[in-house]
Structure 1
Amino acid sequence: MLYMHDLWVNWFEGEENGYNVCRFHEWRKEDGIELVDQIPLILVSEEMFNFIENDLQDLPASLLQDIHRKTYIKKNQERHTVEYAAVVTDGKDVIVFDTIGYTLPVKKSRLIPRQERLVYEMVQGKQPEIYLIEESVTKEHHILSLEPDKMSGLTRRERQLKQLLMMVLDQLKHSDHPEEIRYWLTEWDPGQYSNIKQFSNGEAWDRLYEGTCHGWSKMHEELCKKMVKGQPFFETIWHGENERVSEHMKSQN
């Protein structure tokens, strides 16, 4: 088995979509970067890589058996054993996972570019290990877990705010005040005001979702800002993302 040493990881926990496991250039100084002393490296099929990167289902028992207690991290100069963790690649991309003792990839990380290049060098000319995916449940995307193409090209901040907007829209759909849906659709697309009055709540919500679920723009940002106002939980997320931007701008000056 191949092993990597002195690996920098930035764990993203409970992420079923690979687009939320941020690449190195999107890591933030407040992220909890950890040093892994030793960890197995496995070349897997493209299907298995996608299963690990873009899902949160049980991993094959044979894979878990192969990596059992072969990862070590150092904390306060002491070496600690990790139950199930590995670096996996399909030869085109790389991801690290840690099950934190469970059987699914709860924590995921990307690598820094130098270590990513080393992965490709180490697996060059090797055949992928074959692991069978047992009883897989077909993954379904929805408003709180958008398809990758709807997040494509967005920055970490934009993805966070888009997820926030989708959470607010989902709450709006199931709220006790469905008449608000037409109001927010008018905010999004004021030119359609006369038509919007004729829409049912369901039609209005569908138009609002279809209009906002692609890309990210100043219009998306303005709508999100207005919709979270007065909702403490959502406002906290909004302010958190925007404070980071302000701090980044100050550091650049």
Structure 2
Amino acid sequence: MLYLHDVWVNWFEGEENGYNVCPFHEWRKSDGIEILDQAPILFIDDKTFQYIENDLQDIPQSMLDQIYQRAYIRKNQERQQLDYACVITNGSSILAFDTMGYHIPIRKSRLIPRQERLVFDLIEGRTAKTYSIPDHTDKEFHILSLPPEYMVGLTRRERQLKQLLMIALDQLEVAHCLEEVRYWLTEWAPEQYHSIKRMTFNEAWEKLYNDLVTGWSTKHEVFCKQIIKGQAFYEDIWEREHQPYSTKSLRS
């Protein structure tokens, strides 16, 4: 079995979508970086890789058996064994995961560029192993878990704010207040005021959602700030995302 040593990981916990497992250039000083003293490397088929990267369902048992207690984490100069943790690659992308003792990839991380290159070098000339994916429910995207095409090209901050905006839209739908949804649609598209006055709740909400879900712009950001105003928890998220973050200084 192949192994990688001194692996820098920035765990994103409970993330079902790979686009929220940030690449190295989006890591922040406030992130908790850990070091895996040793991690097995698995070169796997693309279907299994996508299944692990973009979901939170049971990992194939044969894979769990293969990596059982073969990874170690270094904490306070001590070497601690991890039940199920490893680095996986499909030959084009790389992901580290740790199940925290369970059978699902609870924690996920990208690697630093130097170690990504090392993984690709190590698997060169080898053949990917195909795994049998357990019976599972096909993943369904929704307003609180958008399809990747709506997140591609956005920065970490933009993705976070877009998810915040979608939460606000979801609350708007649940409240089902016609005047409120007309108000917010008018705020977004004031030039359509006269047609908005004739819209039903569903028409107005669908129009607002379809306009907001595509892309990201300064207009989106301003609207997001307006619609969450007065909700302390969401305002706190907004403020955190507008702090002057910088990339953690690591040699790569």
Q: TM-score range by the shorter chain?
A: over 0.9
Q: Which runs of 5+ in 2 are unaligned?
A: 248-252
Query: C-alpha displacement at 1:176, in angstroms?
Result: 5.9
Partner of 1:67: 67
Partners in 2 of 1:32 and 1:178 — Cα distance?
44
Partner of 1:198: 198
Aligned residue number for residue 91 of structure 1: 91
- Tell me the residue number matched to 1:14: 14
CA distances 1:125-176 after superposition (whole Å, capped 9, x unpaired): 1111221001021111100000101001000000000000000100111016
Match of 2:113 in 1: 113
Aligned residue identity for 1:220: H
Question: Match of 2:208, SS?
Answer: helix
Alignment-derived partner of residue 218 in structure 2? 218
Q: Would you say 1:149 and 2:149 are equivalent positions?
A: yes
CA contact (8 A) 2:177 2:201 kept: no
Name the counterpart of 2:26: 26
Partner SS, residue 3 of structure 1:
strand
* CA–CA separation in structure 2 for the residues paired with 1:176 and 1:170: 10
2:102 maps to which residue?
A: 102
Provide the rounded CA distance (Å) in 2 between the counterparts of 1:12 and 1:65: 24
Q: How is 1:119-198 mapped onto 2 (pairs within 5 angstroms)? A: 119-175=119-175, 177-198=177-198
Alpha-carbon shift at residue 31 of structure 1 (Å)? 0.3
How many angstroms apart in 2 are the aligned matches of 1:82 and 1:220?
A: 42
CA contact (8 A) 2:6 2:37 kept: yes
Q: Give yes or no for contact 1:68–1:84 (8 Å, CA) kept in 2.
A: yes
Structure 1: gaps of 5 or more residues: 249-253
Please tell me the residue identity of whatever aligns with 1:57.
Answer: Q
Secondary structure of the corresponding residue to residue 114 of structure 1: helix
Name which of structure 1's ranges 133-142 and 37-46 shifts more when overlaid on structure 2.
133-142
Structure 2 contact 24–111 (Cα < 8 Å) conserved: yes
Root mean square deviation of aligned Cα: 1.2
User: TM-score under structure 2 normalisation?
Assistant: 0.96
What CA distance in whole angstroms lies between the structure 2 residues aligned with 1:77 and 1:240?
Answer: 32
1:99-126 Cα offsets, whole Å, 9 max, x none, are: 0011000000000000000000000111
In the TM superposition, residue 75 of structure 1 has moved relative to its aligned partner by 0.9
Paired residues of 1:168 and 1:227 also in contact (CA < 8 A): yes
CA contact 2:45–2:130 (8 Å) conserved in 1: yes
Secondary structure of the residue aligned to 2:243 is helix
Taking structure 1 as the reference length, the TM-score comes to 0.95
Structure 2 counterpart of 1:140, one-letter code: E
Any idea what SS the aligned residue of 2:120 has? helix
Contact 1:52 1:105 in 2 (8 A): yes
Greater relative contact order (Cα 8 A, min sep 6): structure 1 or 2?
2
Contact kept? 1:172, 1:178, Cα under 8 Å: no
Q: Counterpart of 2:63 in 1: which secondary structure?
A: helix
SS at match of 1:182: helix
